[in-house]
A = this chain, B = another copy of it.
């Protein structure tokens, strides 16, 4: 499944079953014994990587930092990851854009993963005293997806672009900035 996930990440959901099986080192027959269809294999491979996604963006570790710092850390990590030549954007967003079918099992997995990201933002926004945590969380997820779409497609360089943007949204939502914390640079925003 790891091999299948990597294959889809590089080549998109249109990758053939033969290529998937070759990458995974299994016969088509074995694959169809394990999964009802390519759709199910795709969904399972995305589901398997979901904990890695949460880990990669620090959604799980509660390390005592402020809500503002935890939210901005997601975008710092996104900027850092996008600098790798292997970066092709968020696989969950890519699958949703490519499939164009909300009933596809892989679409549903992707939606769940992104709902968890939004829930993380909402929880931190609530802890941090944001005016409208739900709206802020949805807007932050939109920034995350916009950045990963443009960064992954090499339409944009994310470094220095995304963290200041998230900081502006946090400021406007009234998420308190602690003076002891590192300030996001590159944009002068009013402290609230």
Seen from chain A, the residues whose Cβ lies within 8 Å of a Cβ on chain B are 10-14, 88-89, 93-94, 96-100, 102, 107, 110-111, 114, 131-132, 135, 138-139, 141-147, 149-150, 152-156, 161-162, 164-165, 168-169, 171-172, 186-190
Nearest CB on B from A109, distance (A): 12
Please state if A172 and B147 are interface contacts (CB–CB under 8 Å).
Answer: no
Indicate whether A153 sits within 8 Å of B96 (C-beta atoms), given known contacts A146-B145, A146-B146: yes
| Alpha-carbon gap, A138 to B157, bound state (A) | 10
Indicate whether A187 sits within 8 Å of B132 (C-beta atoms), given known contacts A14-B14, A172-B172: yes
Number of copies: 2
| Alpha-carbon gap, A191 to B97, bound state (A) | 36
| Complex: chain B residue closest to A153, CB-CB | B96
Residue of B143, B172, B187 near A187 (CB, 8 A) is B172
Please state if B146 and A172 are interface contacts (CB–CB under 8 Å).
Answer: no
Residue of B12, B132, B145, B152 near A14 (CB, 8 A) is B12
Q: Is the interface of A mostly helix, strand, loop or mixed?
A: helix
| Complex: chain B residue closest to A174, CB-CB | B188
Residue of B94, B110, B138, B168 near A97 (CB, 8 A) is B94
Residue of B98, B144, B171, B190 near A12 (CB, 8 A) is B98
Residue of B10, B147, B162 near A100 (CB, 8 A) is B10
| Alpha-carbon gap, A100 to B88, bound state (A) | 7
List 7 tightest A-B contacts by C-beta distance, closest first.
A146-B146, A96-B153, A14-B14, A168-B172, A142-B146, A97-B97, A145-B146
